[in-house]
């Protein structure tokens, strides 16, 4: 009977824990930030020690992300005029319905890119990848989106307060991360499988495999 019980536990391990990595201990994902020109020539973003990058006007920008284990992505954008936007996910329901481990995510999707205009500005991307969904962050984000969407119905002070609360939460999460962004980043070429356009396959080749214990946080300061 004991042997049968042991075999059953081994069966559970390989059918649940191995097959569904949500039960794993670390956060693992592939990540890349890519540039392209108007002719479709792509290149990886040249990372600086301080996470600051300079992007010439006319260049286009795209993120690549592949969740492997316990990797819930939250991507925010803040521009020089203090305009704040949630870039990914478009809705947090994606984590319940269409967030599959191992899927290749391109942000923006398909043939869309972030186009860098000719204005001199200093913008930021806030990237978070958590082991679990961050309910408070999601609640504050949903409240901010609702307040800024229904501007005719929501008092301006309430709109500003919702933005302030969300930015404060983002700052606190950044402060909890390693001050030197000293994450375990394993630089390697990621084998690609599945149907994808040639340009996206090329972007995926720029990816780093990143593994951290609890969560990953990075601020990208973009000058253009």
The domain spans of the chain are: 24-223
Tens-place pLDDT, residues 90-125: 999 888 875 667 788 899 887 888 877 666 567 889
Flag the least confident range among 32-46, 47-61, 83-97: 47-61
pLDDT band at 165 (very low <50, low <70, confident <90, very high): very high
Q: Tell me the pTM.
A: 0.78
Task: Give the pair of three-digit tokens for residue 93.
Answer: 């329901």
Q: What is the mean pLDDT of residues 196-201?
A: 74
The chain-wide mean pLDDT, for the chain, equals 77
End-to-end CA distance of the chain: 69
Q: Express as a percent the part of the chain with pLDDT over 70.
A: 73
Q: What is the mean pLDDT of residues 122-134?
A: 90
Q: What is the mean pLDDT of residues 152-173?
A: 92
- 34, pLDDT greater than 90: no
- 76, pLDDT greater than 60: yes
pLDDT at 121: 66
Q: What span, in angstroms and rounded, lies between the C-alpha atoms of 76 and 94?
A: 16
pLDDT at 69: 86
- 45, pLDDT greater than 80: no
């Amino acid at each position: 009977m004991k042997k049968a019980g042991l075999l059953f536990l081994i069966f559970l391990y390989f059918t649940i824990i191995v097959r569904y990595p949500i039960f794993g201990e670390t956060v693992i994902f592939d990540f890349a930030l890519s540039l392209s020109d108007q002719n479709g020539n792509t290149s990886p973003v040249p990372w600086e020690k301080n996470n600051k990058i300079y992007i010439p006007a006319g260049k286009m920008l795209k993120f690549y992300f592949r969740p492997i284990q316990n990797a819930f992505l939250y991507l925010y954008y803040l521009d020089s005029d203090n305009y704040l936007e949630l870039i990914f996910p478009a809705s947090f329901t994606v984590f319940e319905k269409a967030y599959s481990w191992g899927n290749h995510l391109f942000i923006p999707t398909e043939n869309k890119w972030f186009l860098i205009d000719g204005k001199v500005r200093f913008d930021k991307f806030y990237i978070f990848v958590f082991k679990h969904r961050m309910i408070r962050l999601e609640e504050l984000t949903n409240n901010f989106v609702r307040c800024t969407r229904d501007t005719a119905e929501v008092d301006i002070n309430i709109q500003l307060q919702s933005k302030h609360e969300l930015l404060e939460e983002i700052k606190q999460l950044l402060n909890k991360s390693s001050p030197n962004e000293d994450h375990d980043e394993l630089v390697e070429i990621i084998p690609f499988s599945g149907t994808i356009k040639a340009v996206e396959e090329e972007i995926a080749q720029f990816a780093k495999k990143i593994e951290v214990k609890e969560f990953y946080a990075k601020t990208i300061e973009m000058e253009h």
